[in-house]
Amino acid sequence: MSRLKRREIEQMQQRLVRWYRTHGRALPWRETRDPYRIWVSEIMLQQTQVQTVIPYYERFLAAFPTVRSLARAPLQKVLMIWAGLGYYARARNLHRGTRLVVSRWNGRLPESRKELLQIPGIGRSTAGAIVSLAYDRPAPILDGNVKRVLCRLFAVRRDPAKPAVLKRLWSLSEALTPGTEVHTYTQAVMDLGATICTPADPRCRVCPLHTDCQAFRRGLQHRIPVRARKEPTPHYEYALGIVRHRGRVLIRRRPEKGLLGGLWGYPNYRPRPKESLTDALCRGLRAEFGLAIKSGEKTGTVRHAYTHFKITLHLFESAPLRASKSHAGRDDWKWVYPSRLKDYPLAASDRKVTERLLERH
């Protein structure tokens, strides 16, 4: 970065802003300067594609148009609106965050990055995005798209996940962030990574910064960023019980902490070494609900992929033989008519099971 003069930096900023004014994407969260709405969009866009986010963003804000409306809402309603978008810790943190904003800042998001970082789910890049997009104040960002742009622009030939490389990228991002028109510049650099400086097939010839890009000049754009060696994706097998009783099926709510926290779903259990799927199901239902079951036939399988692992759910029709009274009165499991399952926030894998169930019902 020391090789770049201030004038060169300013020219890069200007070229990028001019390009954006002609080629920038029209997105619903770009029609507002409301910090809350920008916050919601930034959280939803984490590890999720724009086209997937748009309908969820619109439904979410129709249900919770303000910080206070989200803070007042029960978590189960929030998860119901979020269901299907994945990475549910984002929804839980957003919900917790609005309650903090109401209690500490009277319902208005703070303007400083230091204070924003105190809010659950807001990291350094999200804080920078809120400051720059909502308040038009200089603040660097470093999401996945911007990392890729900077790695190519400055021919960074090391893994961007490494702490030393990440530190350098933050320094580059801060140096390139202008003192004025920050709102426009920030959207421009995001769009550049999303539409031009793409991972697999960068469109370098139409990039407004191709004359500045060290990777392009050296023919390295397809080798940068350096990708860390990926480990094989683990795959796990689970026995899932469709436990029926008097026309209803058993579902349970997961603990709020952990994978899919707070969502409802069907009981499922991973077999221990040398344990059969049916034995795992019987063991799990007895331990968790005090239910002894008659395990019926296997009715199918459902496969689902998460970020770091894959699962296969083996579906078993089951019926309770008897239940322990010690498990009665709990509010984290219910017998529900299949037609009412739509009223509960279900994870994507459980919705797949529900589709199968309703087809057979």
Dihedrals phi, psi of 10, to nearest 5 degrees:
-60, -40
Q: Are 314 and 278 in contact (CB under 8 A)?
A: no
Tokens of 224: 């940068």
Q: Are 349 and 87 in contact (CB under 8 A)?
A: no
Q: CA–CA distance from 103 to each of 68, 100, 107 (Å)?
A: 10, 5, 7
Q: Which residues pair with 100 in a beta bridge?
A: none
3-state SS, residue 28: helix
Rounded to whole angstroms, how far apart are CA atoms 189 and 282? 54
Q: Are 355 and 349 in contact (CB under 8 A)?
A: no
Q: Kindly write down the DSSP assignment for every residue of 143-199, as one continuous string.
A: -HHHHHHHHHHTT--S-TTSHHHHHHHHHHHHHHS-SSSHHHHHHHHHHIIIIIS-S
Nearest to 197, CA basis, from 208, 186, 187: 208
Q: Of the listed 8, 10, 42, 256, which one is catalytic?
A: 42
Nearest to 358, CA basis, from 299, 312, 303: 299
Q: CA–CA distance from 148 to each of 13, 131, 159 (Å)?
A: 17, 22, 11
Angle at CA of residue 74, ends 327 and 341, nearest 5°: 60
Rounded to whole angstroms, how far apart are CA atoms 93 and 315? 32
Residue 231 annotated among the catalytic residues of the structure: no
Rounded to whole angstroms, how far apart are CA atoms 296 and 24? 56
Q: Where are the beta strands (DSSP E) in the chain?
A: 235-245, 248-253, 264-265, 268-269, 291-305, 310-323, 333-336
Token look-up 């439904």 returns 59
Q: How many CB atoms lie within 10 A of CB 140?
A: 24
Residues recognised as catalytic: 42
